């Protein structure tokens, strides 16, 4: 009887090992790399998208831009050429969601500090208030690294068009003003082809973790 149980135990151990191997093989087979989606205007809530492009289904990209950063330097799409970047919209005098968004963007900055492929871009939605000097003070206060993160101001019409027609991230003010807007908590992940690959709640720590994970996934597309 004792020998029977010894044999049974040996069989159980072998069976368990084989089962683990089979499960691992199945997991690795099913765990196939899944690229991030490419977001088009018709996939986004209409309140965030300019009416002229709400039904666009493909080929959407971030438009060319020319704005001014916290150091008075002109920043264009060329500064983000061949880069993955995270974008958002904010204003320095905001006392509601902006401080949380900025803190979380600073956390993202820490994680990507040594990665030359990744940059950050924050657009002021009150450029008449957010002068270069104001942005510089804010950048110093919030720990912005000039080499990784541009806070930009400029022509409000251009910023509005970028927000509504490129990043699909800002709501109309609703008061009939042609260039009034309400920024959202959205962070947008932009790939090297200037396509939107993800939207994230910039006030939510779990979404920030998802953003960082998605950056890792997106980087795999560029591995030779």
Residue set of the binding site: 94, 98, 183
CA nearest 87: which of 17, 7, 181, 170?
170
Which token pair is 141?
A: 């206060």
Per the listing, tokens 């260039």 go with: 179
DSSP secondary structure, 113-163, as one string: TT-TTEEEEEEES-TTT--HHHHHHHHHHHT--TTTEEEEB--HHHHHHII
- Yes or no: say if 87 and 118 are a contact pair by the CB < 8 Å rule: no
CA 21 vs CA 26, 27, 75, 110, 189: distances in Å = 9, 10, 53, 38, 37
Give Rg (Cα) of the chain: 23
Whole-angstrom Cα distance, residue 164 to residue 153? 16
Q: Give the annotated binding-site residues for Cu cation.
A: 94, 98, 183
**How many C-beta atoms surround the C-beta of residue 178 within 10 A?**
8
């Amino acid at each position: 009887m004792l020998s029977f149980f010894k044999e049974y135990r040996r069989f159980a151990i072998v069976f368990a090992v084989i089962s683990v191997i089979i499960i691992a093989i199945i997991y690795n087979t099913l765990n196939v790399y899944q690229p991030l989606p490419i977001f088009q205007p018709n996939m986004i809530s209409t309140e965030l998208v300019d009416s002229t492009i709400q039904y666009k289904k493909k080929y959407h990209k971030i438009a060319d831009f020319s704005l001014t950063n916290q150091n008075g330097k002109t920043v264009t799409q060329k500064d983000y050429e061949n880069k993955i970047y995270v974008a958002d919209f904010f204003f320095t005098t905001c006392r509601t969601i902006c401080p949380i968004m900025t803190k979380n963007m600073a956390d993202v900055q820490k994680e990507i500090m040594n990665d030359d492929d990744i940059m950050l871009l924050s657009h002021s939605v009150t450029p008449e208030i957010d002068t270069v000097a104001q942005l510089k003070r804010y950048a110093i206060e919030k720990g912005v690294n000039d080499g990784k993160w541009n806070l930009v101001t400029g022509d409000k019409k251009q910023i509005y068009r970028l927000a509504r027609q490129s990043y699909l991230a800002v709501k109309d003010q609703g008061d009939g003003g042609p260039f009034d807007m309400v920024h959202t908590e959205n962070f947008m992940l932009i790939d090297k082809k200037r396509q939107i690959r993800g939207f994230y709640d910039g006030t939510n720590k779990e979404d920030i973790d998802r953003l960082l994970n998605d950056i890792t996934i997106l980087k795999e597309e560029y591995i030779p």
